[in-house]
Structure 1
Amino acid sequence: MGLFGIGEFQAARVGERRLQVRDVVGEFVGQVDADEQSHRRRFAGCPLNGDGPFARFARSSLGAPIMSFAALPPVMIESDVAVVGGGIGGLTAAHELAERGIDVTVLEANERFGGKARSMPIAGASGESVSTPGASDAPLHGEHGFRFFPAFYRHVTDTMARIPDGEGTVADNLVETEATLIANVDGPPQVAETGTPETLRGWLEALRPAFAEDLPRSDVRFLLERLLYLLTSCEARREDELDDISWWEFIDAENRSQEFRDRLAYATQALVALRPQVGSARTIGTIYLQLLFGQLDPTRPTEQVLNAPTSVAWIDPWLRYLEGLGVDLRANAPVRDLEFDGRRVTAATLVDGETVVADEFVLAVPVEVAPQFVTPELARVAPELGRIERLDTAWMNGVQFYLSEDVTLTRGHQVYADSPWALTSISQRQFWRDHEYDVSGRGPDAVEGVLSVIASDWDTPGVVHGKPARQCTREEIVTDIWAQLKTHLNGTSPTLSDDLLVDWFLDPSIVERDDDSEAGDRVENRSPLLINTVGSLRNRPPADVAVPNLTLASDYVRTNSDLASMESANEAGRRAANAVLERHARRSYVPADIWDLEEPTAFEPFKREDRLRYRLGLPHPAEVTQSVRSLTRRLGGRA
């Protein structure tokens, strides 16, 4: 995927810079508000190019050339902002505002920032603090699930390209993958290249589904026709009609082959934890196309991953940069509620009783937490806030297996086509730079490799205990996932064996219950994932809601990116920042960039035609064709 705005950037001494920035900004503006009790300072966004004091300081501390993102025109704003939630959305909002000279405080409930993207140092991979003979003092890292960056991610990678790290930026820590392994229980694995095709045959292969060899030609042709339907539909039809149809119904899965249905289920559920029977055709189809276009775009890497655990490669440098901008980052600061006077939010009250007062508030907590802050009074003023609780979530959590050998599998991701728990994985050490993060120098001496796995179906019985994952203990979950991996990878030759397994780490958001629930669940998920179910678009609020000083910055916000992801959260954070800037700017300002999802321009004439048809109440031309085919098939069946 494209990396935007990358330039040479020398990292400053963050600890010294934070104090210096405040002094220089005070000199530039002419005064610094002396009221430290209210934690309000008057900042002015100052361009780093020019002859002013801020520019002189920047050149002396940061070195030259200055990155283009810093050259922002002044924004006269006499306000400060409190961001509730330090995940990707909250940190993005803080980033965009702080770069424009606004005073920001970020309140994060957890010990570590980064939300679902954060990685965490662990003493014992299975979750216990253990003392292993010969173990290194440097810890291994665990995670909620592995990160990947497809080509259509533009907001996240733009932010990464504006975070200094060493002599470059965080975006330099992205590494391109080369292939995806599709493993089957019966039959040899398939390898799908993730690089841009270089031959005519390669382009033709890229246009076909990765599982096309297993399907009747009629099914493959029909799927391509449905994708063309999407590509030639106007945006209004997509939002008003296709969001109210399931992907299962849209591709007529009931009348397709069993192989088509099986492969379709894994392709969607493994990607977004979303069953095709309930997933929005608009969302699943759009993302399917974006992934396809990413492979066909020679200007961007199809798929990238990080060269170290996420916090090491991205989040920690980001936090250092934000602190250097003067952002007050407060971990272990859970907010209990927002105080509301009937018109505006007046304060955020922490669990310990502390009150944080600000001019603007950005609510950047995940979808399962947001309704806790929506009082009846808030919902009356901004009804869109009351609809957040109607959004659905699913479970998509990961486990890391620490191995005595570096089992690479393929230089990319793995998809386990027949796994009941919709597993995907990546062998990570091959992508990690040893001089930045040496696995062999961390944790138990025996660890040489890390296989990170995500389970996206927690409702189907497993292969060992015969129970869905949610009805298993933590250890049973890990045992079943390990068994499913072995049945997929050991078909033609042994790849995984029990003697390779040194330790494991299951996402700590999966917590065992003290007592059995009515549903029989043995665990609860404290970090579920938003899913785009049929009709859910109407329940997704904009970033700028009807409360004059409240904005939203989380992946449930209505965005161009749409799918619950780092990309959508980042875009939501930008939209929240732009809303704050729009309300308070006293002169022209440069808004945070927002990108549309790109589709081939060759389809624009067809979209314009469909836009006219939609306004006239006419169906899409392909719908007429599909109706005729369905009628013919039914009549043929009666004969």
Structure 2
Amino acid sequence: MTSVAVLGGGIGGLSAAHELAERGFAVTVYEANERMGGKARSIPIDGSKDAILGEHGFRFFPGFYRHVTDTMARIPYRDRTVADNLVPTSESLLARATGEEVVARTATPRTIGEWREALQPPTSDGLPPREAAVLGERLLTLLTSCDARREDDLEYRSWWEFVEADRLSPAYRKLAAVTQLLVALRPQDGSARTFGKIYLQLIRGQLDPRMDAERILNGPTSTVWIEPWVAYLEDLGVEFVRETRVTGIDCDRERVTGVETIRGEVGAEYYVAALPVEAMVELLSPDLKRGAPSLAHIDRLETGWMTGIQFYLESDRPLVHGHQLYLDSPWALTAISQGQFWSEYDLSEAGSGAVGDVLSVIISDWDAAGELTGKPARDCSPEEIKAETWDQLTTHLNRDETRLADDDLVEWFLNPAIEKTDDGVVNREPLLVNTAGSLRYRPEAATGMKNLVLASDYVRTETDLASMEGANEAARRATNAILDRSGSDAPRCELWALEEPAVFEPLRAHDAVRYRLGLPHASEGAWSPVREALVP
């Protein structure tokens, strides 16, 4: 059996181990932490065996995810599969500190009234119709742009510039930035290519009857996904070496010759680097850069903070059957009341038994000043982060009635990757942020080294996003590269492209001709006078 060392036991590493083990390779996974799953792992909040589990943040599976959910469907769970632990939501709460609160459907529209509601911009209060038309025109331009224009032009323009957000109203800017609340993309920095592509996929999830717009897990991530996954991989013969941080990669100009860890050197015929980008940067050596030149500039990729805090409540507080988006919160908060979905986890049997619900909150903006502390989250202590987040939640929820009471709070848990310092906190597990122009620094899964491949979300993928889906897709590409290089006749991993409406294909083909001729997109000519009339 051909041996493979997988460096990192997050979603990318476990996905690569899964694909390789099912194809007969001898796989060993080396993970720095005691628990597998990377940023997706669940963590006992006080270290005890029966403690309530905390997490990096709630897991979110948009409808366009196909790679990771296909893998989940191949993991046994009792008499079904892990994919059966995905629960569709039916609505989202769009909460505001001022203005009207909205509960929006996430299920596929079925009546004329539901379609009218679905097509209405989700933050449309105060949005002039002419500005809604501008955003519609920008999305149409994206849909009708050819791939070459997207990569050579839109990749180098920020989403904020592309949609002309600075020229328009606060309501428009809020609508243009709504995707930031769900994925690790800052609209001011993210490329128009990536941000727009994901924006369109989220809209597609709302309208395509073939998919659920969004799904979440019916229990803590490790309980209903990671632990069954590890057990299945062990049955396949995968070995797991925990608490073993990688400290170096030895190589000549053609091959990796060994990997150094805190427990000593390990060897294999092939190596899968499934480490986050900031960890991989620390391992770059002159020899590694020469042998795998595609890695030479990954230190230019940026990371950001998008992580979570859990509030454990005494009583059941479902609030809404899906996401809660706190649109006026300075820290760009999103949350899910998870207890209502956790059919596979009995909160009453965890910890002291005093918890009736878990409000899982993600803080997306760590640089904006909070209203209670007057400081950005990264400059706050963990206790101040807790107090400020709670204050922003209650400011939105308790305007007309008390839906979140102070005396209902039993416990709270901040992601332990957020570590206290003298000046605030640092984040030991940041997320890759796809900034404008960063695609050129991102490598393919197959490197110049004959026996080194990559399985992490900074790899070039169709998904093009720091996500579980991107990591899983990268792992499939890494597996295919090993199959090709080893001469294996095992079936290759299936890959899926993101779908876009076929009706726009003729217009994209027309734009490809214009692009080859050096002409701008047709909208920059025909539409520009219209847009100038719409935009003050």
1:346 touches 1:357 (CA, 8 Å); kept in 2? yes
Residue 450 of structure 1 pairs with residue 358 of structure 2? yes
Q: How far off its partner does 1:166 sit?
A: 0.6
Equivalent-residue separation in structure 1 for 2:75 and 2:195 (angstroms): 31
Match of 2:279 among 369, 377, 380: 369
- List aligned pairs for 1:224-623, cutoff 5 A: 224-265=136-177, 267-352=178-263, 354-433=264-343, 436-513=344-421, 515-516=422-423, 522-586=424-488, 588-623=489-524
Q: How far off its partner does 1:118 sit?
A: 0.8
Deviations 1:187-236 (A, max 9, x none): 33111100000012322332332112331101111111111111111111
Equivalent-residue separation in structure 1 for 2:174 and 2:504 (angstroms): 30
Q: Which has more radius of gyration?
A: 1
Q: How far off its partner does 1:247 sit?
A: 0.7
Describe the SS at the equivalent of 1:142: strand
Q: How far off its partner does 1:163 sit?
A: 0.3
Relative to structure 1, the CA distance from residue 208 to residue 328 in structure 2 (aligned partners, 3 Å threshold; closer, same or farther) is: same
Deviations 1:333-371 (A, max 9, x none): 11111111222101111113x111111001000011111
Q: How far off its partner does 1:122 sit?
A: 2.6
Match of 1:184 among 68, 71, 96: 96
Query: Scaled by the length of structure 2, what TM-score is found?
Result: 0.97
Equivalent-residue separation in structure 1 for 2:524 and 2:402 (angstroms): 49
Equivalent-residue separation in structure 1 for 2:297 and 2:331 (angstroms): 30
Deviations 1:405-459 (A, max 9, x none): 11100000100000000000000010011xx310011112321111000001111
2:184 touches 2:466 (CA, 8 Å); kept in 1? no
Equivalent-residue separation in structure 1 for 2:108 and 2:404 (angstroms): 31
Describe the SS at the equivalent of 1:259: helix
Matching residue of 1:215: 127
Partner AA of 2:40 in structure 1 = A
1:263 touches 1:417 (CA, 8 Å); kept in 2? no
Equivalent-residue separation in structure 2 for 1:230 and 1:494 (angstroms): 43
Identical-residue share of aligned pairs (%): 57
Match of 2:7 among 58, 62, 84: 84
Matching residue of 2:16: 93
Partner AA of 2:200 in structure 1 = L
Partner AA of 1:97 in structure 2 = L
Deviations 1:55-95 (A, max 9, x none): xxxxxxxxxxxxxxxxxxxxxxxx21101000000111110
Partner AA of 1:417 in structure 2 = L
Equivalent-residue separation in structure 2 for 1:346 and 1:430 (angstroms): 50
Residue 175 of structure 1 pairs with residue 87 of structure 2? yes
Equivalent-residue separation in structure 2 for 1:147 and 1:630 (angstroms): 39
Describe the SS at the equivalent of 2:411: strand
1:273 touches 1:457 (CA, 8 Å); kept in 2? no
Describe the SS at the equivalent of 2:426: strand
Equivalent-residue separation in structure 1 for 2:467 and 2:486 (angstroms): 29
Describe the SS at the equivalent of 2:244: coil
Residue 116 of structure 1 pairs with residue 17 of structure 2? no
Q: How far off its partner does 1:626 sit?
A: 4.0
Equivalent-residue separation in structure 1 for 2:309 and 2:27 (angstroms): 35
Partner AA of 1:494 in structure 2 = T
Q: Which moved more, 1:571-580 or 1:186-195?
A: 186-195
Equivalent-residue separation in structure 2 for 1:559 and 1:202 (angstroms): 34
Equivalent-residue separation in structure 2 for 1:404 and 1:397 (angstroms): 23
- List aligned pairs for 1:30-179, cutoff 5 A: 42=1, 79-123=2-46, 138-179=50-91
Partner AA of 1:388 in structure 2 = I
Equivalent-residue separation in structure 2 for 1:209 and 1:119 (angstroms): 35
1:395 touches 1:528 (CA, 8 Å); kept in 2? yes
Relative to structure 1, the CA distance from residue 206 to residue 357 in structure 2 (aligned partners, 3 Å threshold; closer, same or farther) is: same
Equivalent-residue separation in structure 1 for 2:46 and 2:279 (angstroms): 29
Describe the SS at the equivalent of 2:277: coil
Describe the SS at the equivalent of 2:118: helix
Match of 1:194 among 106, 113, 118: 106
Deviations 1:281-308 (A, max 9, x none): 1111110110111111112211111110
2:121 touches 2:175 (CA, 8 Å); kept in 1? no
Equivalent-residue separation in structure 1 for 2:119 and 2:67 (angstroms): 26
Partner AA of 2:92 in structure 1 = T
Partner AA of 2:364 in structure 1 = S
Residue 205 of structure 1 pairs with residue 128 of structure 2? no
2:88 touches 2:216 (CA, 8 Å); kept in 1? yes
Equivalent-residue separation in structure 2 for 1:560 and 1:208 (angstroms): 29
Partner AA of 1:553 in structure 2 = A
Deviations 1:571-596 (A, max 9, x none): 0011001100011124x331011100
1:272 touches 1:531 (CA, 8 Å); kept in 2? no
Describe the SS at the equivalent of 1:486: helix
Deviations 1:506-561 (A, max 9, x none): 00000011x44xxxxx1100011111111011111100011111000000000001
Describe the SS at the equivalent of 1:214: coil
Uncovered stretches (5+) of structure 2, i.e. residues with no partner: none
Describe the SS at the equivalent of 2:15: helix
Q: How far off its partner does 1:633 sit?
A: 7.4
Equivalent-residue separation in structure 2 for 1:336 and 1:94 (angstroms): 21
Relative to structure 1, the CA distance from residue 505 to residue 616 in structure 2 (aligned partners, 3 Å threshold; closer, same or farther) is: same
1:371 touches 1:386 (CA, 8 Å); kept in 2? no
Uncovered stretches (5+) of structure 1, i.e. residues with no partner: 1-41, 43-78, 130-136, 517-521
Q: 4+ runs of 1 displaced by more than 6 Å?
A: none
Partner AA of 1:179 in structure 2 = E
Equivalent-residue separation in structure 2 for 1:631 and 1:154 (angstroms): 40
2:347 touches 2:353 (CA, 8 Å); kept in 1? no
Equivalent-residue separation in structure 2 for 1:190 and 1:561 (angstroms): 30
1:247 touches 1:276 (CA, 8 Å); kept in 2? yes
Partner AA of 1:591 in structure 2 = R
Deviations 1:159-197 (A, max 9, x none): 000001111100111111000100000133111100000
1:123 touches 1:443 (CA, 8 Å); kept in 2? no
Q: How far off its partner does 1:630 sit?
A: 5.7
Equivalent-residue separation in structure 2 for 1:633 and 1:150 (angstroms): 33
2:124 touches 2:175 (CA, 8 Å); kept in 1? no
Partner AA of 2:115 in structure 1 = W
